[in-house]
Structure 1
Amino acid sequence: MTRPSTAHPRTLDGSAVAVATSVMNLATYGFTMLAARIMGPSEYGALAACLSVLIVVQVGALGLQATAARRIAVDRDNVAAIEQSILSLSTRVSLVLGLVVLALSPVVTRMLNLDDVLTAVILACAVVPLTLTGGQAGVLQGERRWGALSVLYLASGIPRLVVGTALILWRPDATTAVLGVALGYAFPVAVGWWVLRRRRTPETAAPEHSARAMLVESTHNAQVLFVFFALSSVDIVIARNVLDDHDAGLYAAGLIMTKVMLFLPQFIVVVAFPDMASPEHRKRALVRSLVAIGAIGALAVLAAELLSGVAMIFVGGAEFGEVEGLLWLFATLGTVLAMLQLQVYAVLARQARRSVLLVWAALAALVALGLQADSVAELVTSVVAVDTTLLVVLTLASLRINRGAPVPPVTPTPPG
């Protein structure tokens, strides 16, 4: 046996992950806010464009993380074999993705209107540690090593804030800022290497956990997460096309509240995922997590309504005062998206292929409906309606799953 662990301490460990993810998100948010103030609109615009590329590429890391966490959670007898395969695969995938982005650096430079290709080259270098961290985090998540995972999350946020801010204070341009981000990604990789350095050699071969099988599953996971990110981000693109510049700016300010509500309960998804992969724990973990996210969201929506003036300080200030009356609706949107994120990970946990079609359908519906909007209120209402409908459908589908029917942990292409 390889590190069998039947004790799953919840309260303290869940709190550690909650604190770590909150600090990570605050540090990331702090770096972007400081960068905007220090660098100015032009250079910050280039940095924001580069960060958007990393968000897209990050689905590879998240796909690897979900694969590792799910397989370890449902096959405790082959933990060492899974660790060995996923970490080896993560290394190869990270190098391939880095080389692909490097080869495309001239294209990236032109698409993002960067001053020189060096920025795109550094961006490609950042892809390698970003992707590698995904496999490491997945191993720790699947083994429920919440303390080590919390340290890894802290290392993903704080060094970027410290190193990145120091570099842009020295030289406030996009190239230096991206270099700070790339150096920041090296810290969680170092943490992951340290906590996983004493890996055991697998006692027996586990062909069901081959690199090919894991690559197939990770690719599927990345595709699912990509469409979720598209669903949660396409509304700002729609706003830029259907609203004038002023209203589009108001919508973007409101989305700050939405993103806060999306990332605030992220720790719940992290802690619940291994249990959602286990047939005997799946339904209870999903229901409890949905209730927890809903409760946090309800409190935030109420606060956004009653303390809207205070919330405006973080959203953008008096210049964006016209959106104040809609902050509760943007908070509602963020809560729905957080619950949808949990449902998407539930889909990954049980490797349900057909459920992904519902997310694609919702994305198409959102684009079609959103393009008919002619005001901030109408657009955000449409987005909330589509996302809520998808949430209800996915929840009903999840609750109908027979929790006594196990999900094959080893099949590279399990049925939906």
Structure 2
Amino acid sequence: MPPRRSFLRSATAVAVAMAIMNVAAYGFTLIGSRRLMPEQFGAITALLGLLLIGNVASLGLQATGARQIATHTGDGAATLADAMLRAGRRSALALSVLCLVLTPLFMWLLHIDSIIAIVLLAPTLGGLTLMGSQLGILQGSQRWTELAAVYASAGLGRLVLGGGALLVHPSLDWAMAGLALGAAVPAALGQFFLRGSHGAGRKEVGEVLRETVHGTHTLLAFFALANADVLFARALLDEKYSGYYAAGLIVAKACLFLPQFVIVLVFPSLANSPGDTVRLRRAIFAVAGLGACAVAGTLILPGLVVEVVGGSAKYAELGPYTWLFAVAGSAYAVLQLIVYAAIAQQEKRAALAIWAGLVVLAAAAGIVLGTGAATGLHGVQVLAAMTSGCALLVSAGLATGLHRQATDPGTSTTD
């Protein structure tokens, strides 16, 4: 099969699998909103938020594994894969134990009385962390069909087992039990695909864990920046318009997740050729192109967009401005790509630049919204515009740094 056709086939498989994963996760949320009482739905949403935070370690493991496997030369691929799997098991165990230790704190902070629901966070997060190490190996070795299967199984496991549990018995405990079982499905499938990996020692596992810490820190900074605006909206806008902003964020998050398959596909080649700025520019154009299509869609069909995110009756005022959230989500999608390029190139200063961007955004939001210079719907528009500008500025700064590192062979950021 010609290389171009093979790549398109792989891209389609990964894109479809990731779409299945995201739609299935959304389906679980819809089932929960309909089957649970509002108090319980609020609790499961809070627990999903904790899983989202903890899942950053899984993403760090995946990025590390993909980079190391993609850049590995010579023999010992099975040993490197085994090191990744062992690092994943150690990380999963550590996070599970941490969840169990923090159970009383979570119960107090989230006002959840069920100890069973909180305890079930540990195996759920453990399964997701194992999956991250497995995805990294499959991604780095460009085993796209198996990678797509694991992605699809992650979403279907959550929908079938988590949603099925809610249909059988609508309660918080059953929902979390279904989520824990659902998280075990992709981990079991990934282990089946990677059977035969062996031979790693303590040194190899330690190297993987050290690099994972750096990658996880960078991704944590990105997710903090990408989710800070909803906190600013809640704190600085009144309740009605912070609700409008939260509805607009559904559009932004859809535009953020839409081009993720591009990042998954291009990351191994970025790791293999860290100085290939042409490949990075093409990937940026691909992500930006998908974002432009999403923005055009919100401009052409604003009423439909509002109906999907929350109902035209509730959020009719937001309709003409949904394109601002599409721009914001697309800007963060570009930033996410460049963040992964920084991880592939092992640019250790990337996290610092992202944290600096968060400080600037917080200061700008405090000055403009906190002083009342922009309020109501105008405040919603201004905050969405500020988040877009911040994402683009940080993207430009990181991209410039990567270009300089690529064109200066004597510069190293790995020390």
Q: TM-score with structure 1 length normalisation?
A: 0.92
- Residue in 1 that maps onto 2:324: 329
Q: Tell whether the 8 Å contact from 2:103 to 2:118 is kept in structure 1 after alignment.
A: yes
1:244-296 Cα distance to aligned partner (Å, 9 max, x none): 11001000000000000000111000011111111267323311110001111
| Farther off after superposition, 247-256 or 272-281 | 272-281
1:89 corresponds in structure 2 to 87
Match of 2:294 in 1: 300
Does the alignment pair 1:218 with 2:222? no
* Conserved 8 A contact 1:279-1:403: no
Picking from 229, 233, 241, the partner of 1:239 is: 233
For the residue of structure 1 that corresponds to 2:272, the secondary structure is coil
Instruction: Look up the match of 2:28.
Output: 31
Q: Is the 8 A contact 1:279 1:404 kept in 2?
A: no
Aligned 8 A contact 1:279 1:406 in 2: no
Match in the other structure for 2:101: 103
Q: Which amino acid aligns with 1:29?
A: Y
Which amino acid counterpart does residue 414 of structure 2 have in structure 1? Answer: P
CA distance in 2 between counterparts of 1:124 and 1:355 reads 30
1:315 aligns with 2:346: no
Q: Quick one: distance in 2 between partners of 1:54 and 1:282? A: 35
- 2:395 corresponds in structure 1 to 391
1:5-53 Cα offsets, whole Å, 9 max, x none, are xx89411111110111111111111111221122132111000100110
- Of 251, 268, 279, the residue aligned with 2:273 is 279
1:40 counterpart residue number: 37
Alignment of 1:180-259 (within 5 A): 180-199=178-197, 201=198, 210-259=204-253
1:308, 1:327 within 8 Å by CA — same for their partners in 2?
A: yes
Amino acid at match of 1:36: S
Alpha carbons of structure 1 residues 147 and 320: separation in structure 2 relative to 1, 3 Å? same
Shift of 1:192: 0.3
Q: CA deviation at 1:58?
A: 0.6
Q: What SS does the aligned partner of 1:18 have?
A: helix
Aligned partners of 2:298 and 2:323 also within 8 Å: yes
C-alpha spacing 1:281/1:108, structure 2 compared with 1 (3 Å): same
In structure 2, relative to structure 1, the CA distance for the partners of 1:406 and 1:177 (3 Å cut) is farther
User: Which of the numbers 376, 382, 385 marks the counterpart of 1:381?
Assistant: 385
Question: Post-superposition shift, 1:399?
Answer: 2.8
Q: Which amino acid counterpart does residue 53 of structure 2 have in structure 1? A: V
Determine whether 1:54 maps to 2:51. yes
Q: Provide the rounded CA distance (Å) in 2 between the counterparts of 1:147 and 1:381.
A: 39
Cα distance in structure 2, aligned partners of 1:133 and 1:95: 13
Q: Return the alpha-carbon distance in structure 2 between the equivalents of residues 92 and 272 of structure 1.
A: 28
Cα distance in 1, alignment partners of residues 220 and 82 from structure 2: 26
Question: Which region of structure 1 is more displaced relative to structure 2, 377-386 or 185-194?
Answer: 377-386
Q: Contact 2:78–2:196 at 8 Å: present in 1 too?
A: no
Counterpart check, 1:344 vs 2:349? no
Alpha-carbon contact 1:280-1:403 (below 8 Å) kept: no
Equivalent in the alignment of 1:130: 128
Q: What's the % identity of the aligned pairs?
A: 36
In structure 1, what is the equivalent of residue 62 of structure 2?
65
Change over 3 Å in CA distance of 1:284–1:159 after alignment to 2: same
SS in 2 for 1:76: coil
Kept in 1: contact 2:31–2:166 (CA 8 A):
no
Could you tell me which residue of structure 2 aligns to residue 3 of structure 1?
Answer: none
Per-residue CA distance 1:163-220 (angstroms, 9 max, x = gap): 1111112222222212211111011011101111133x45xx888x611111111011
CA contact (8 A) 1:73 1:275 kept: yes
| Local SS of the residue matching 1:353 | coil
User: In the TM superposition, what is the alpha-carbon distance from 1:368 to its structure 2 partner?
Assistant: 1.2
Q: TM-score, normalised by structure 2?
A: 0.92
Note the C-alpha offset of 1:405: 4.5
Is the 8 Å Cα contact of residues 56 and 216 (structure 2) preserved in structure 1? yes
**Corresponding residue of 1:4:** none
Q: 1:407/1:149 Cα in 2 relative to 1: closer, same or farther (>3 Å)?
A: farther
Residue by residue over 1:293-338, the C-alpha shift from the partner in whole angstroms, topping out at 9 and shown as x without a partner, is 1111111101101111111121111211111111001000010011
Say whether the 8 Å CA contact 2:157–2:186 is kept in structure 1: no
- 2 CA distance for matches of 1:198 and 1:403? 40
CA distance in 2, matches of 1:378, 1:27: 33
Distance in 2, Cα, partners of 1:391 & 1:290: 10
The one-character-per-residue Cα deviations of 1:138-165 (angstroms, maximum 9, x if unpaired) are 0000100000000000000012111111
1:153 alignment counterpart: 151
Provide the C-alpha distance between the structure 2 equivalents of 1:296 and 1:96, rounded to a whole number of angstroms. 38
Task: Give unpaired runs (5+ residues) of structure 2.
Answer: 370-374
Q: Is the 8 A contact 2:274 2:344 kept in 1?
A: no
Instruction: Indicate conservation of the 8 Å contact 1:62/1:134, yes or no.
Output: yes
Unmatched runs of 5 consecutive residues or more in structure 1: 1-6
Q: Secondary structure at the match of 2:405?
A: coil
* 2:282 match: 288
